[in-house]
Structure 1
Amino acid sequence: MALDDTLPRDLFYNAYLQTYLQRDVRDLTRVGDERAFLLFLRAAAARTGQLLNYADLARDVDIDQKTAKAWLSILETSGIVYLLQPYHNNVTKRLLKTPKLYFLDTGLCAYLTQWSSPETLEAGAMSGAILENWLLVEILKSWWHNGQTPAVYFYRDKEQREIDLLIERDNTLYPVEFKKTASPNLSAAKHFTVLEKLDRQAGHGAVICLRETDVPLSREVDAIPAGYL
């Protein structure tokens, strides 16, 4: 469905969802309750950037976990959501193994979570999560549009140390942190040091943020404007 700049956002996404529910979902599997499936979509969108929790999703929509897993598989197969896998290896057993949930269309995610305008979204509780969603998807698209498949992960251990994104290339892990700030400092990259314990070389790190120009935060980490993406 081509985007018409003159078409109101709500009308566009409402038509998109109707087409998706009535055609694509039925082609993939039989969803008996389209209203419940739409509620499931909204519940998933409200959790963008969070660890995937089937029990929570199922409870919010009043379905069982088996159905929640089946429906999320539909969303992933049809290109609605993306599951970012956690980095894991045999060196440490204290890494979490649950993926994080993202929407490949950030506009759809904002529509499903019912933010009426960019201004209300920017001031709202989900602004950081939706910015993270957009930044991740733009990075993914930069690879996909060049016919490449990125090796990307996130890091989180049981001590709650987290790195938003790890890009693996040539046996090297490049850490990336997403921040909704125009004045980041080196504390944004404080968890990059955990990579020293893994079985990969650590590459140059980045904090992608709302600055207008790039600037080094240290010899190993740069602050990169989101606009560069």
Structure 2
Amino acid sequence: MAYINRAMEATFKRMAQEFSVILLTGPRQVGKTTMLKRLAEAEGVNREYVTLDDITEREMAKNDPKLFLQLHKPPVFIDEVQYAPELFPYIKIYVDEHQQAGAFWLTGSQIFKLMDGVQESLAGRVGLLHMSPLSQAEACGYPSEPFTVELERLLTRSKAVAPASIQDVFERIWRGGMPAIVSGAKKEQTAVYSSYISTYIDRDVKEITDRVDSFKFLSFVTVVAALTSQMVNYKTIADAVEISVPTVKNWLNILERLGIIFYLHPYSNNLLKRMVTKPKLYFYDSGLVAYLTKWTDSETLMNGAMSGAILENFVVSEIVKSYQNAGLEPFIYYYRDKDNKEIDIVLERNGTLYPLEIKKTMMPDKRWTNVFGVLDKTSLKRGTGGILCLSDKFTAFDRDNLIIPVWEI
């Protein structure tokens, strides 16, 4: 399989010079192990690799973590470390004694459960990164940088990235970001995603809780995918799957912990009195959404009833990935009030709010930017806004309202 360079490589190497422990989380099959093995080869030190997918190694790590670390001395790369949180106190002892940068490279597939253990034992000693499926920039071999709504930076980027047609954009959406598919190593996309789902149900989900009916859970994930880019409605999901609302909340938490879904929360400010409070739900991988909602090719998806919602999912996830790959937390929200005024994305940077609308069109209407004025009620400054759309070039309505092609993110 041809290796696809990851935008996070430079970020990881920089953090490995600053922290004794680097923890890279993210769902399975997105390329965590592949990237770190490649970086270890280029590192020039004899870094041992051990995976806790190996039952023997896992049992030792859980039952005698001190012996495990005596046998696997730093510098060491421990894969799937979530299986043995018992290691964390002993890693802390080693780190405090040796103060060795890059001593432990760790990966894990159960994000939030894992972070709780890390925060208890390794607070201030660990650099945290999250890897998602490939971004379109990574898949196309373009430079990756945190998305901003700055005229000059967007103008420069538009000249560095090749334009993509509507058909090309929806091909990227439908194909998704799993490295095995994007690299061409596996041709049968349906088989890859089918295996991916069954792996999660049979292995990782049941690792978290054994009270899951596999068939019900698959039905649940499918319903959630059909509701992507919408405000979460627990009762709607519960009724569709015939499970309880508490079960919906528990299963959504599992999907979030495994790095499958994430939320945008509504932007709130003490000067805004009529805000909705429900988050909107998105998948990190648009290809998984397309598979679950049974779109068999990109053209059918492009012309289908979900095209707008899945385009929004793609855009939001691309922006989030652009920050994750740089090791940064994205301050990204949506706006909706009880008068049904809505802004798809509100980016907050340095005390300024940048409003963005996402539209499935090549020719956006300037009137769509009128809603941006609702942010003038907040205590923060309103910055440049934009329409993210399927335009074939980067341009602008005026200096304050840009037209940004989706392929440029």
Alignment TM class, shorter chain as reference: over 0.9
**Counterpart residue number, 2:364:** 184
Q: CA 1:9–1:198 in 2, change beyond 3 Å: closer, same or farther?
A: same
Q: Distance in 2 between matches of 1:163 and 1:31?
A: 39
Deviations 1:159-205 (A, max 9, x none): 00000000101111011110100001212212101011111100101
**Counterpart residue number, 1:106:** 286
**Counterpart residue number, 1:196:** 376
In the alignment, is the contact (CA less than 8 A) between 1:51 and 1:98 conserved in 2?
yes
**Counterpart residue number, 2:210:** 30
Q: Distance in 1 between matches of 2:200 and 2:272?
A: 42
Q: In structure 2, the residue corresponding to 1:98 is in which secondary structure?
A: coil
**Counterpart residue number, 1:134:** 314
Structure 1 residue ranges (4+ consecutive) displaced by more than 6 angstroms after TM superposition: none
**Counterpart residue number, 1:211:** 391
Give 1:222 shift: 0.4
Deviations 1:44-78 (A, max 9, x none): 00000100000000000000100000000001111
**Counterpart residue number, 1:10:** 190
In the alignment, is the contact (CA less than 8 A) between 2:206 and 2:212 conserved in 1?
no
Q: Percent identity?
A: 43
**Counterpart residue number, 2:275:** 95
Q: In structure 2, the residue corresponding to 1:19 is in which secondary structure?
A: helix
Q: Look up the equivalent residue of 1:150 and give its one-letter code.
A: P
Q: Distance in 2 between matches of 1:35 and 1:190?
A: 46
Q: In structure 1, the residue corresponding to 2:277 is in which secondary structure?
A: coil
**Counterpart residue number, 1:82:** 262
Give 1:38 shift: 0.5
Q: Distance in 2 between matches of 1:31 and 1:132?
A: 33
Which moves more between the two structures, 69-78 or 185-194?
Answer: 185-194
Give 1:24 shift: 1.0
Q: 1:155 aligns with which of 312, 316, 335?
A: 335
Q: 1:115 aligns with which of 295, 313, 316?
A: 295
Q: Distance in 2 between matches of 1:105 and 1:219?
A: 33
Q: In structure 2, the residue corresponding to 1:85 is in which secondary structure?
A: strand
Q: Distance in 2 between matches of 1:28 and 1:190?
A: 46
In the alignment, is the contact (CA less than 8 A) between 1:76 and 1:82 conserved in 2?
yes
Give 1:144 shift: 0.4
In the alignment, is the contact (CA less than 8 A) between 1:31 and 1:37 conserved in 2?
no
Q: Distance in 2 between matches of 1:213 and 1:31?
A: 51
Q: Look up the equivalent residue of 2:180 and give its one-letter code.
A: L
Which moves more between the two structures, 19-28 or 56-65?
Answer: 19-28
Q: Distance in 1 between matches of 2:272 and 2:386?
A: 24
TM-score (norm 1): 0.98
Give 1:7 shift: 2.4
Corresponding position: 1:222 with 2:399: no
Mark the runs of 5 or more structure 1 residues left unpaired by the alignment.
none
Note the aligned Cα RMSD (angstroms): 1.0
Q: Look up the equivalent residue of 1:98 and give its one-letter code.
A: K
**Counterpart residue number, 1:67:** 247
Describe how 1:160-175 pairs up with structure 2 within 5 A: 160-175=340-355
Structure ID, larger Rg: 2
Q: Distance in 2 between matches of 1:195 and 1:89?
A: 10
Q: 1:49 aligns with which of 207, 229, 243?
A: 229
In the alignment, is the contact (CA less than 8 A) between 2:262 and 2:284 conserved in 1?
yes
Q: In structure 1, the residue corresponding to 2:398 is in which secondary structure?
A: coil
Aligned length: 229
